Amino acid sequence: MKTQEYIALEEQYGAHNYHPLDVVIQKAEGVWVTDVEGNRFLDCLAAYSAVNQGHCHPAIRKAFIEQADKVTLTSRAFRNDQLPLLYKALHDMTGFEMSLPMNSGAEAVETAVKAARKWGYKVKGIPEGKAEIICATDNFHGRTTTIVSFSTDAQYRDGFGPFTPGFPIVKYGDINSLKAAINPNTAAFLVEPIQGEAGIVVPPEGYLKEAARLCKENNVLLICDEIQAGLGRSGKMFAFEYDNIRPDMVIIGKALSGGFYPVSAVLSSKEVLGVFKPGDHGSTFGGNPLAAAVACAALKVLKDEKLIERSFELGNYFMGKLRAIKSKHIAEVRGRGLWIGFVLDTKARPYCERLMKEGILCKETHENVIRFAPPLVITKEEIDWACERIERVVLSLD
Ligand SMILES: *Cc1c(COP(=O)(O)O)cnc(C)c1O
């Protein structure tokens, strides 16, 4: 079948909740994907950072297949021999006392929200039904009805109310706005250390450090959503490390499976995750042996291949080359690690379409930002190859 035939099927029988570029991918390896016509593209989105380890990484694939031959799902009604190893690996790699596994990122965010509220009532002593979790403007934490209740993006909310109460909004990056919102009923502050979907927005220097201090002073949990920023994308294991802080809860997902399978988790302390008693919360697939085996392998690849250090170094290299492009439409090049927001003063979609013709796949976010976030296994030569084409496209549209 040809590209147009696949697209026709999708348009006719699938809900139109996405507007994908018209490329139909058939296979992928490392940073490269191949479409049904045999065209090759450099993937500069990496499935929104779920394939930090590169597409179809052989070591993760091996773990996936070996585990699929043994047992894939036990449910948490019984124990399995893979989940304990994931708990240990997460503890050893991150230093957090405990974790709670889920599947999608949004489910892990929901888990963190439930943990924070319950902690607020049972430990902090907030009166029943009054707990507040402060969120930031332009946040992205997923798509459930509770999560879109604290989105400030009109489209994410339109038509989906009534909304879940209890989520005051403060201005991202503005410490005084946070200070003013904290009150005795505040259980937590939920924040992305760098906002991904908002366009790779890095907050002002010292913001997170001061937020952490305020949270501590007021007995408020600091929850960092590292689903996109974490696991090497920002050039550190976690983006919060740039501010030398230690959040009370960290939410991870996406690259936790290297793209093989939805795996997410909440990392925290015994004090916080200890609020969950048997039966309080759960998921049929959460913590299944296939997910655990894949996640252990995905974490091991990050470490063995030094992908976090690589992201830091090559991110600076990539950003430097992008900043050297002289175009009247480039407003800013920002980011950390291999997570770059290429900000234009005009619509980004035509650029993405032209880049696709040149063999580079990337996606606009918020109209005028192109996100360059290739798998972390990308080489310097591949970055050079990409920059040559990016420059050509940008200058042709000047
Ligand atoms: C992608 C993302 C989520 C949601 O993850 P899903 O797996 O799509 O539910 C939440 N928070 C952030 C920061 C994300 O980038």
Each residue of 184-220: pLDDT tens digit?
999 999 999 999 999 999 999 999 999 999 999 999 9
The answer to whether residue 64 is catalytic is no
| 172 and 185 housed in the same domain | yes
The pLDDT tens digits of the residues spanning 315-359 come to 999 999 999 999 999 999 999 999 999 999 999 999 999 999 999
The answer to the question of residue 241 being in a domain is yes
pLDDT, averaged across the chain: 97
Q: Which domain holds residue 199?
A: 71-304
- Give residue 204's Cα distance to chain centre: 20
Q: Are 65 and 293 in contact (CB under 8 A)?
A: no
| 386 and 319 housed in the same domain | yes
Catalytic residue, candidates 140, 150, 240, 318: 140
Q: What pLDDT score was predicted for residue 293?
A: 98
Mutate to test the pocket of ligand 1, among 45, 141, 200, 257 (most ligand atoms within 8 A of CB): 141
**Ligand 1 pocket check for 186: Cβ under 6 Å:** no
The answer to the question of residue 224 being in a domain is yes
**Ligand 1 pocket check for 138: Cβ under 6 Å:** no
CATH number of the domain bearing residue 117? 3.40.640.10
| 27 and 168 housed in the same domain | no
The pLDDT tens digits of the residues spanning 13-25 come to 999 999 999 999 9
Q: What pLDDT score was predicted for residue 40?
A: 98
| 322 and 300 housed in the same domain | no
Within 10 angstroms of residue 145's Cβ, the number of other Cβ atoms is 12
**Ligand 1 pocket check for 142: Cβ under 6 Å:** yes
Could you give the percent of the chain with pLDDT greater than 70? 100
DSSP code, position 222: E
Distance (Å) from CA 106 to ligand 1 centroid: 6
**Ligand 1 pocket check for 193: Cβ under 6 Å:** no
Residue nearest to atom 5 of ligand 1 (CA): 105
Phi, psi of 257 (to 5 degrees): -115, 0
Q: Which of 271, 304, 337 is the last residue of a domain?
A: 304
| 87 and 208 housed in the same domain | yes
Q: How far is CA 33 from CA 144, 264, 307, 377, 380, in A?
A: 30, 25, 20, 14, 18
Distance (Å) from CA 324 to ligand 1 centroid: 32
**Tokens at residue 172, please?**
């991202």
Q: Are 211 and 191 in contact (CB under 8 A)?
A: yes
DSSP H or E segment with residue 99: strand 98-102
How far apart CA 29 and CA 274 sit, in angstroms, is: 41
Q: What pLDDT score was predicted for residue 201?
A: 97
| 258 and 320 housed in the same domain | no
Residue nearest to atom 7 of ligand 1 (CA): 105
The answer to the question of residue 64 being in a domain is no
Indicate if the pLDDT at residue 126 is higher than 90: yes
| 75 and 30 housed in the same domain | no
C-alpha gyration radius of the chain: 21
**Ligand 1 pocket check for 49: Cβ under 6 Å:** no
β-pair partners for 38: none
| 269 and 320 housed in the same domain | no
| 134 and 232 housed in the same domain | yes
- With cut-offs at 50, 70 and 90, classify the pLDDT of residue 279: very high
Catalytic residue, candidates 35, 43, 138, 225: 225
CATH number of the domain bearing residue 45? 3.90.1150.10
Residue nearest to atom 10 of ligand 1 (CA): 141
The answer to the question of residue 119 being in a domain is yes
Q: Which of 246, 278, 304 is the last residue of a domain?
A: 304
| 300 and 310 housed in the same domain | no
Half-sphere CA count of 121, side-chain side, radius 13 A: 12
Catalytic residue, candidates 118, 124, 254, 363: 254
Angle at which helices 380-396 and 349-357 cross, to 10°: 120
| 130 and 273 housed in the same domain | yes
Residue nearest to atom 11 of ligand 1 (CA): 141
Interval 257-267 mean pLDDT = 98
Q: Which of 282, 304, 326 is the last residue of a domain?
A: 304
Distance (Å) from CA 176 to ligand 1 centroid: 27
The answer to the question of residue 325 being in a domain is yes
The answer to the question of residue 66 being in a domain is no
**Ligand 1 pocket check for 109: Cβ under 6 Å:** yes
The answer to the question of residue 342 being in a domain is yes
Interval 117-138 mean pLDDT = 98
The answer to whether residue 254 is catalytic is yes
Could you give the percent of the chain with pLDDT greater than 90? 99
Mutate to test the pocket of ligand 1, among 109, 227, 252, 256 (most ligand atoms within 8 A of CB): 227
Distance (Å) from CA 223 to ligand 1 centroid: 14
Phi, psi of 208 (to 5 degrees): -65, -35
**Ligand 1 pocket check for 253: Cβ under 6 Å:** yes
Interval 94-107 mean pLDDT = 98
Indicate if the pLDDT at residue 366 is higher than 90: no
> Which residue shows structure tokens 């604290």?
150
The answer to the question of residue 290 being in a domain is yes
**Ligand 1 pocket check for 259: Cβ under 6 Å:** no
DSSP code, position 242: G
Our count of domains for the chain comes to: 2
**Ligand 1 pocket check for 104: Cβ under 6 Å:** yes
Indicate if the pLDDT at residue 66 is higher than 90: yes
Distance (Å) from CA 325 to ligand 1 centroid: 31
| 315 and 283 housed in the same domain | no
The answer to whether residue 140 is catalytic is yes
Phi, psi of 333 (to 5 degrees): -120, 115
β-pair partners for 343: 332, 369
**Tokens at residue 383, please?**
């970055």
Q: How far is CA 75 from CA 67, 97, 241, 250, 286, in A?
A: 15, 23, 34, 24, 8
Q: What angle do CA 365, 369, 375 make, to 5 degrees?
A: 70
Question: Strand ranges (DSSP E) for 202-339?
Answer: 221-225, 249-252, 264-268, 330-335
Q: What pLDDT score was predicted for residue 286?
A: 97
How far apart CA 135 and CA 182 sit, in angstroms, is: 11
Mutate to test the pocket of ligand 1, among 18, 48, 140 (most ligand atoms within 8 A of CB): 140
**Ligand 1 pocket check for 110: Cβ under 6 Å:** no
- With cut-offs at 50, 70 and 90, classify the pLDDT of residue 9: very high
Cis previous bond, 162, omega within 30: yes
Q: How far is CA 173 from CA 208, 209, 337, 385, 393, in A?
A: 8, 11, 20, 35, 33
